Structure 1
Amino acid sequence: MRRTPLGTAAVALTVLLSGCASLQSSATEVGGVRMTDERPVRDGGTLTVALNSDPDKLDPSLAQTLVGRTVFAGMCEKLYDIDQDGTIVPQLATALPDVSADGLTVTVRVRRDARFSDGTRLDADAVVGSLLRHRDLPGSARATELAPLERAEATGPDTVRITLKQPYVPLTGVLADRSGMVMSPAALRTYGKDFTNNPSCVGPFRFVERVGGDRIVLRKDPRYYDADRVHLDRVIYRPIPDGTVRLANLRSGDIQVGDQMAPVDVRGALTEPKLQVFNSPSLGYQGIGLNVGNVKGLGEKPGPIDTPLARDVRVREAFALSLDRELINKVVFQGMYEPACGPISPGSAIAPGVRPEQCPKRDAERAGQLLAEAGVKTPVRMELKVSTTPESGRLGQVVQAMAKEAGFAVTLRPTEYATLLEETDNGAYDAFTSGWSGRLDPDGNIASFLRTQGAMNAYGLSDPRIDELIARGRTEADLRERASIYEELTRRVNAEHALVYVYRQKNYAVAGKGVAGLRIYGDGLVRVSTAGYVQ
């Protein structure tokens, strides 16, 4: 879904601009489910990874999907990354940022031994160019994340100085995701808007080809600074939306790794002696987005929409009250996920997210009363766009049945994933299944989606109080005060019901027992840089 198509583990989380972030699992393996595989591997071979949908643009500035982030993990490194414990660590940077006492100047030093896949050397100028492109490129999904960046400049061959408009606490976490990916300046000059079809970054593998809807092929990059630790010759990513088909291909050996496996398929894999299951805890959420003001597309000024859902918050609240989150988890996900009713994971140490047991209970009677108070004709007709995966279809059917009892007539519109993203970005929808894989800092789950004209605010939500709280959360370094801000922000967001949070998934991946060296951390990405076949 969006833009995913992570738990039983204990979570500890602390984020400061000049410090680090932590997401810790109580164990590497629990109940036969693991996050890493440390068995020794041999060199050579091709690994085929099945994704649950076709990634969107392979351009770090424009990309929005979790499946795309998984592909980027193989070919586009970032200034920072997270490790097995969820701690932010340097990747293309050599150390965590140096921050001035006033929080307005941030200095990042970058590696001097790295080259892009096209042979261009990584330097501070390349970092500056990528940061400014992420911020300024029309349609950039990174624009909101990097909006506080006033200026970036190279003060030496390996030193970048970032000047901020105001202190920006989430910056280190932001640079541990796509905003921290550095692109070859030569490739950007050569390909411009077509960079998505010719991506060139620093990474263990380089891009070879993409056949839409069929495969993305990467090959080991001999120029990679740590190439001696890369074992595979090639990695192939194949979109296979049907989890049953993914599992069948895993059993036959046609694919070796299945990403984002559905609970029903995970249960099947746990009984297979030739398969192993990986799991990582979640920082994200899944829910249903409602169009309350998206009339001209992402980044444009919101406007009025003549639907009951958009006109009256009571209608949206009624829809939210029609949903039984616990039952949805049991019926659709076999109890392997958990109910959610807010943007922040309950395990966050920055701001305590709403725990599953605190979520509102279904109240169809109250929903009916709200519709009567709103004076709308019942049943309220609405179209819900769902992706074409079987799991998304089952979710849609359960939502349809529950909403019907509360006075809604929901029509399901199964839509191919890339098309669903395009249509919802453009505002061509009533409601859609909306989700996010999650970020370490709560700002990463909120600002781009719920701030007025945010880079991924497909809902058209515009609330001055929400905007004010987002701005305060970004600049407040005191952890207690930040927690208070995000608690209030969660209440305010939930009162708008533009994004109805429904469940928080766990990220499951299944691999053949012959595959080792995989890494699946708290961000939900399947990392293949050290993967291979057992010796």
Structure 2
Amino acid sequence: MRPIATALAVVALAAGTAGCGSLTTAATEVGGVRMTDERPVREGGTLTVALKSDPDKLDPTLAQTLVGRTVFAGMCEKLYDTDRAGKVVPQLAAALPRTSHDGRTVTLPIRPGLRFSDGTRLDAAAVARSLERHRTLAGSARATELGPLTSAVATGELTVRIRLKKPYVPLTGVLADRAGMVMSPRALKKYGKNFTAHPSCVGPFRYVERVAGDRIVLEKDPHYYDAAKVHLRRVVYKTITDGGVRLANLRSGDVQIGDQMGPVEVRSSLTEPQLQLFNSPSLGYQGLGFNIGNVHGTGKKPGKLHTLFAREPKVREAFELSLDRALINKVVFQGMYAPACGPVSPESAVAPGAAHCPPRDLAGAKRLLKEAGVRTPVPLELKVSTTPEDSRLGQVVQAMAKEAGFEVRLRPMEYATLLEETDAGRFEAYVSGWSGRLDPDGNIASFLGTAGAMNTYGVSDPALDRLIAQGRTTPGGTERGALYRRLTDRIHDQHALIYLYRQKNYVVARKDIAGLRVHGDGLVRVKDAGYAR
């Protein structure tokens, strides 16, 4: 490790540390898991939430980002939700789904008396229309999640019947995310794909305006069924990409909540008497991905790429062996995250068992490059977002890979642009991540299934597709856990998506804010929030 000690020390100092020796794990320092604040709140006021990046489209069918989901949590409720214990519970639905004996017909009862923010009544027809749009709209990021559906129809004023090609175990969990968000049929008819500029759902707050790259403004929705329990008058989501600037705004009181705070800012906040910390385990993963077949864009069948990293799995494996997950976590994230090498979190509803993370093996990496017949240094462009965390991660990956014979060139870009580039297949490798879902299928199928809606990597593996299909039809229990163990091993054999670490969800708020909720899905829930009495 000595040749890269200088590079790692620079990154450690940039992260506000004195170097590797002074870094300690944070499990006890952050006081364990804290997800809610039950203090009473007063009526009125504006709450400003600082986001790590600018959300993408405010259209549940097309959206892909965690920051977007945080905004949706304020204005677009779902058929189902997850509670603080990770259990799926009804939200816009009146009860959990009823499934036929053959598993191919699912009936959803819908709550009565609901209205969208534009005043339109929510009924079964509106639910069915949204589900069909999620399933069939060109470019839908929900297409893979709802791929097993053949139809969704209203069979009564408040009853929806879903037909499936095969039994689909993850369905209820899928409907607890954006695929379960119901959009106003009036707004869909009027605005079509421009719904993103005029979103209308059922939620505690309704959309007012968006200034791209700066803020999204919501206000209390008088049509909301539970409006009497909503205390705030307005919520403003403000984009502040630099964690240090988010923390400075928290200190000054210009913002009241900082979302997705990094370890450096979390440690600083612990010494601030006017700030409080919320945190929860993550269902997601972070890492980096290679383009091995994305030639037509996401959602399309992968094709042939002739780049070295696309055609040579040994080169991708060598790159993975050049990386030290534990040291990345220690240097870049102050030991406050966890090394990871698979898509399924320990917090998942299905536990396949811990994946074995290969240790750093420079000799093995060099041997693989020699076997692949390539000349070193091997060039690679790695796209990263412009956040300080991704910049530090990129620098450490660059330094580690150099010792194995790779020459990594970092290309920073704004997050929304990064998504556009990777969706279109215009990349060699990029820093990749996902906020995670309770059911493991939500962390795998859309990303690694052939023609998956978010398969930016261009992976196409019939054996992997068969395992994904089996996972969707296999009931819960040890059999499903064993299947996802096999699936994880098969994913690792591809070396297309290198899992590096699993975050914790850290949210910092001013102490005069109460009623806040931060669940394992990483979303900041502001329905019950307000200024403490």
Matched to 1:80, the amino acid is Y
C-alpha displacement of 1:198 = 0.2
Distance in 1 of aligned mates of 2:348 and 2:441: 12
Distance in 2 of aligned mates of 1:497 and 1:179: 29
Per-residue Cα deviation, 1:93-117 (whole angstroms, up to 9, x for no partner): 0100011111111110111111000
The answer to whether the 8 Å contact 2:352/2:485 transfers is yes
Asked whether 1:134 is paired with 2:134, we answer: yes
Gap change, CA 1:330 and 1:30, over 3 Å in 2: closer
Q: Report the equivalent of 1:479.
A: 477
TM-score (norm 2): 0.94
SS at match of 1:273: coil
The answer to whether the 8 Å contact 1:41/1:517 transfers is yes
C-alpha displacement of 1:347 = 3.8
Q: Report the equivalent of 1:350.
A: 350
Aligned positions of 1:58-77 closer than 5 A: 58-77=58-77
State the Cα RMSD in Å. Answer: 1.2
SS at match of 1:207: strand
The answer to whether the 8 Å contact 1:345/1:352 transfers is no
Q: Report the equivalent of 2:262.
A: 262
C-alpha displacement of 1:485 = 1.1
Q: Report the equivalent of 2:446.
A: 448
Q: Report the equivalent of 1:432.
A: 430
Asked whether 1:327 is paired with 2:317, we answer: no
Asked whether 1:39 is paired with 2:39, we answer: yes
Q: Report the equivalent of 1:153.
A: 153
Matched to 1:285, the amino acid is Y
C-alpha displacement of 1:433 = 0.4
The answer to whether the 8 Å contact 1:281/1:522 transfers is yes
Deviates more, 1:346-355 or 1:332-341: 346-355
The answer to whether the 8 Å contact 1:309/1:316 transfers is yes
C-alpha displacement of 1:366 = 0.4
Matched to 1:192, the amino acid is G
SS at match of 1:490: helix
Aligned positions of 1:238-253 closer than 5 A: 238-253=238-253
Asked whether 1:55 is paired with 2:55, we answer: yes
The answer to whether the 8 Å contact 2:290/2:309 transfers is yes
Gap change, CA 1:451 and 1:33, over 3 Å in 2: closer
Matched to 2:122, the amino acid is L
The answer to whether the 8 Å contact 2:343/2:499 transfers is yes
Q: Name which of 470, 476, 482 aligns with 2:468.
A: 470
Q: Report the equivalent of 1:96.
A: 96
Q: Report the equivalent of 1:24.
A: none
SS at match of 1:34: coil
SS at match of 2:401: helix
Distance in 2 of aligned mates of 1:114 and 1:340: 42
The answer to whether the 8 Å contact 2:294/2:303 transfers is yes
Per-residue Cα deviation, 1:32-65 (whole angstroms, up to 9, x for no partner): 7521000000000000000000000000000000
Q: Report the equivalent of 1:197.
A: 197
The answer to whether the 8 Å contact 1:231/1:531 transfers is yes
Query: Which consecutive aligned stretches of 4+ in structure 1 deviate over 3 angstroms post-superposition?
Result: none
Distance in 1 of aligned mates of 2:405 and 2:516: 48
Matched to 1:378, the amino acid is T
Q: Report the equivalent of 1:521.
A: 519
C-alpha displacement of 1:308 = 1.3
SS at match of 2:191: helix
The answer to whether the 8 Å contact 1:76/1:201 transfers is yes
Q: Report the equivalent of 1:509.
A: 507
Q: Report the equivalent of 1:143.
A: 143
SS at match of 1:42: coil
SS at match of 2:444: helix
The answer to whether the 8 Å contact 1:308/1:380 transfers is no
Aligned positions of 1:266-415 closer than 5 A: 266-348=266-348, 350-354=350-354, 358-415=356-413
Distance in 2 of aligned mates of 1:332 and 1:352: 28
The answer to whether the 8 Å contact 1:32/1:277 transfers is no
Unaligned runs of 5+ in 2: 1-28
Distance in 1 of aligned mates of 2:337 and 2:316: 24
Per-residue Cα deviation, 1:373-405 (whole angstroms, up to 9, x for no partner): 000121110100000001100000000000000
Matched to 2:505, the amino acid is N
Distance in 2 of aligned mates of 1:59 and 1:347: 28
TM-score (norm 1): 0.93
Distance in 1 of aligned mates of 2:370 and 2:160: 59
Per-residue Cα deviation, 1:177-217 (whole angstroms, up to 9, x for no partner): 00000000000000011100000000000000000001000
SS at match of 2:422: helix
Matched to 1:83, the amino acid is D
Per-residue Cα deviation, 1:438-493 (whole angstroms, up to 9, x for no partner): 00000000000000000000000000000000000000115222112111100000
The answer to whether the 8 Å contact 1:33/1:277 transfers is no
Sequence identity (%): 72
Q: Report the equivalent of 2:225.
A: 225
Q: Report the equivalent of 1:491.
A: 489
The answer to whether the 8 Å contact 1:44/1:232 transfers is yes
SS at match of 1:236: strand
Unaligned runs of 5+ in 1: 1-28
C-alpha displacement of 1:348 = 3.3
C-alpha displacement of 1:305 = 1.4
Matched to 1:401, the amino acid is A
Q: Report the equivalent of 2:10.
A: none
Gap change, CA 1:67 and 1:353, over 3 Å in 2: farther
Distance in 1 of aligned mates of 2:342 and 2:102: 32
Distance in 2 of aligned mates of 1:66 and 1:77: 15
Distance in 2 of aligned mates of 1:267 and 1:353: 31
Distance in 2 of aligned mates of 1:384 and 1:123: 47
The answer to whether the 8 Å contact 1:347/1:353 transfers is no
Distance in 1 of aligned mates of 2:485 and 2:360: 22
Distance in 2 of aligned mates of 1:90 and 1:399: 43
Distance in 1 of aligned mates of 2:473 and 2:32: 42
The answer to whether the 8 Å contact 2:286/2:432 transfers is yes
The answer to whether the 8 Å contact 1:33/1:276 transfers is no
Deviates more, 1:466-475 or 1:80-89: 80-89
Distance in 2 of aligned mates of 1:182 and 1:464: 34
